[in-house]
């Protein structure tokens, strides 16, 4: 836990059903650390080399934060892309835990103007169904070089 956290300019706050199960996924399997938490309100602020996410356990009394029913999978229509130095250690932890992937690891190249940027990536869902895409940089190449 640290007070010297540099907060990202955009930090998603995910409403989760069970904070302990979510921490097992986000911290134990993906590799985030708890930057700070408030156990009494079932809240944790996580960081992974500047990628940040807040987890807030569902509280029906705090309905002002909710815009509709909490039907699973949560977060439909969004995937949280997180850059990691390498995907292999995360994949190994997920495999050891028997955690299923939504999309197997692949090397993908995306056009950004006159170049393509590459990343090795895969998709996984957290315990509440939020879609998480983890990727490691592969570099850049001229457009159409692949």
> Residue 90 belongs to what H/E stretch?
helix 88-96
pLDDT at position 72: 87
- Stretches where the chain sits below pLDDT 50 are 1-2
**What stretch of H or E contains 64?**
none
**Residue 13 contacts residue 78 (beta carbons within 8 Å):** no
> What local confidence, expressed as pLDDT, does residue 3 receive?
61
pLDDT of 1 reads 46
Q: Write the CATH number of the domain with boundaries 13-61+73-142.
A: 3.10.180.10
Per-residue confidence (pLDDT) for residue 13, from 0 to 100: 95
Long-range contacts of 63-67 (CB under 8 A, 24+ apart): 65/15, 66/15
Can you give the pLDDT at residue 63? 65
pLDDT value at residue 60: 80
């Amino acid at each position: 836990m640290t007070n010297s956290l540099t907060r990202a300019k955009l930090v998603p706050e995910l409403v989760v059903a069970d904070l302990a199960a979510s921490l097992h996924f986000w911290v134990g399997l993906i590799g985030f650390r708890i930057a700070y938490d408030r156990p009494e309100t079932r809240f944790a602020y996580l960081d992974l080399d500047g990628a940040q996410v807040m987890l807030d356990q569902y509280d029906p009394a705090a309905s002002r934060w909710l815009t509709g029913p909490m039907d699973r999978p949560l977060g439909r229509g969004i995937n949280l892309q997180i850059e990691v130095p390498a995907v292999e250690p995360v994949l190994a932890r997920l495999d050891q835990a028997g955690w299923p992937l939504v999309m197997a690891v692949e090397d993908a190249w995306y056009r950004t103007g006159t170049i393509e940027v590459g990343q090795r990536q895969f998709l996984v869902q957290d315990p509440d169904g939020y879609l998480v895409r983890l990727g490691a940089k592969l570099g850049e190449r001229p457009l159409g070089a692949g």
